[in-house]
Structure 1
Amino acid sequence: MMGWLVFGGFALLTIALLLLIRFPRRFWTVPAMAVTLAGAGYAWQGQPSLPDHPVEGVASVRPLDPDLIATREGLFGRFNFDYSYFMAADAMTRAGAPQLAATVMLGAVRKAPNDLGLWSGLGLALAEHDGDQLSPAALYAFDRAETLAPNHPGPPFYRGIALARAGDLEAARQAWGRALRLLPPEASYRDDMVGVILKLDPGLAAAARSALPANPPPAR
């Protein structure tokens, strides 16, 4: 019984999210079909008539990196149009629902099709939704962002994150190198960006540590 209650809550959350992002009603059949198929699959294989019992699951929620959030706000701004959609997508990510995070960002680019920050966020959300794989849709989103602003560091930085999570560190380093070259020297979020990169690239992190002096001079 509890399974059906959870499923019903998920369906209501989906409807509320579609209303929040003003998803075009003529396309509502797509998410409705997805929810219907999910319910049918649960009824077929989930055995909802079994009594409730606690289970120990495997955590699949990726924690949000505060350095990434700080970098994002430096790149694309805070308390603006982009910010509200990024926050909504973050909430879906915290809830372990990457498909809804991607839906949020898809709704965002529908409303602002020339916004490079939203296209960058959509690319990363789609990659997360696809199990950290760079699908054609994710690549298109990154390409669109770079086409809109070829000299902005945001799109290559986000592409690098997706590449690193997909296991292609060499390509990720190339994307990050371009992002750092495009970054203004006075950017206050440079250290945050470097922090994100080092967390995703253990090789670069090890090289950075080895480059530090063994006994740094005491601060004066």
Structure 2
Amino acid sequence: MGWLLLAALVAIVFAALVRLRVPRLLWSMVGAALMLGAAGYAWQGRPTLPGRAVTADTRDLAPDEAVIDLRTKMFGRYGIEGAYLTAADAMARSGSSRHEVQAILGAIRGSPRSAALWTALGDALVRHDRGQLSAPARFAFDQAIRLAPRDAGPRFFLGLAQVRANDFAAAERSWQQSLSLTSPRASYRDAIVQRLDLLTRLRRAMDGAAGNTPRR
């Protein structure tokens, strides 16, 4: 069956070459590529292997205990909000980010002006979406920043989400803003400084590597 499919592919390619009026000088290049593929199939192809469905990795990102501790230092953990966050963290540790999100949403219904809860919701949504900064997650972070524009926490966790989404330039800006809002005496200041320093070094290394890549 594999050889039949390869023969059909060759026929389709050459029919396309004729129909598209590709210059004959280029036919040899296309033929060489097809022959190379056929040789590779003949060498390494194993058509007798049983098929197996491929499934995407649907595991959520696990919560980081150091990040949870940092969130507690930034926002505190008192009253009904703290109780909800404790329950949500327990659900996250058990691998149920969906229930974690539901718990935080329930808390927000009772305390819609809590920057801590909106920040936690954004963080939970990003982990639930396996590192994607979705529109709902971004909305949650924006709400937290609107409610607490002078707090370092919302911008720090927005930066963390941007790191997970591989948007390092935006993450660096968010962490710089977070650091500028942090008191010199804050217990979590060093944690922000260390992460920002590592991110800055990473970006410089990436920029250097990109600049040294030879152009073709």
Query: Do both proteins adopt the same fold according to a TM-score greater than 0.5, normalized to the shorter chain?
Result: yes
Does 1:112 find its partner at 2:111? yes
What TM-score comes out, normalization by structure 1 length? 0.60
Secondary structure, in 3 states, of the residue corresponding to 1:187?
coil
CA distance in 2, matches of 1:200, 1:84: 33
CA distance in 1, matches of 2:204, 2:103: 33
Matches within 5 A, 1:131-210: 131-194=130-193, 203=202
The Cα shift of 1:195 comes to: 5.0
Q: For residue 102 of structure 1, what is the aligned residue in structure 2? A: 101
Q: State the one-letter code of the partner of 1:74.
A: K
Structure with greater contact order relative to length (CA < 8 Å, sep ≥ 6): 1
The Cα shift of 1:82 comes to: 2.4
Q: Deviations over 1:95-114 (max 9, x none)?
A: 11111111111111111000
Q: For residue 128 of structure 1, what is the aligned residue in structure 2? A: 127
Q: Aligned-pair RMSD on alpha carbons?
A: 2.7
Q: 1:205 to 1:81 in 2, by over 3 A?
A: farther
After superposing on structure 2, the runs of 4+ consecutive aligned residues of structure 1 that deviate more than 3 Å are 58-64, 192-202
Q: Deviations over 1:161-200 (max 9, x none)?
A: 1111111111111101100110011101222344555787
Identity value in percent: 40
Q: 1:150 to 1:96 in 2, by over 3 A?
A: same
Q: Deviations over 1:95-146 (max 9, x none)?
A: 1111111111111111100000000010111111122111111111111111
Query: Is the 8 Å Cα contact of residues 67 and 196 (structure 1) preserved in structure 2?
Result: no
What TM-score comes out, normalization by structure 2 length? 0.61
Q: 1:64 to 1:145 in 2, by over 3 A?
A: same
Matches within 5 A, 1:56-71: 60=59, 62-71=61-70
Q: Structure 2 stretches of 5 or more lacking a match?
A: 1-56, 206-216
Q: 1:150 to 1:199 in 2, by over 3 A?
A: same
Query: Is the 8 Å Cα contact of residues 67 and 193 (structure 1) preserved in structure 2?
Result: no
Query: Is the 8 Å Cα contact of residues 119 and 144 (structure 2) preserved in structure 1?
Result: yes
Q: For residue 76 of structure 1, what is the aligned residue in structure 2? A: 75
Q: Deviations over 1:51-84 (max 9, x none)?
A: xxxxxxx894644433312221111112333221
Query: Is the 8 Å Cα contact of residues 123 and 157 (structure 2) preserved in structure 1?
Result: yes
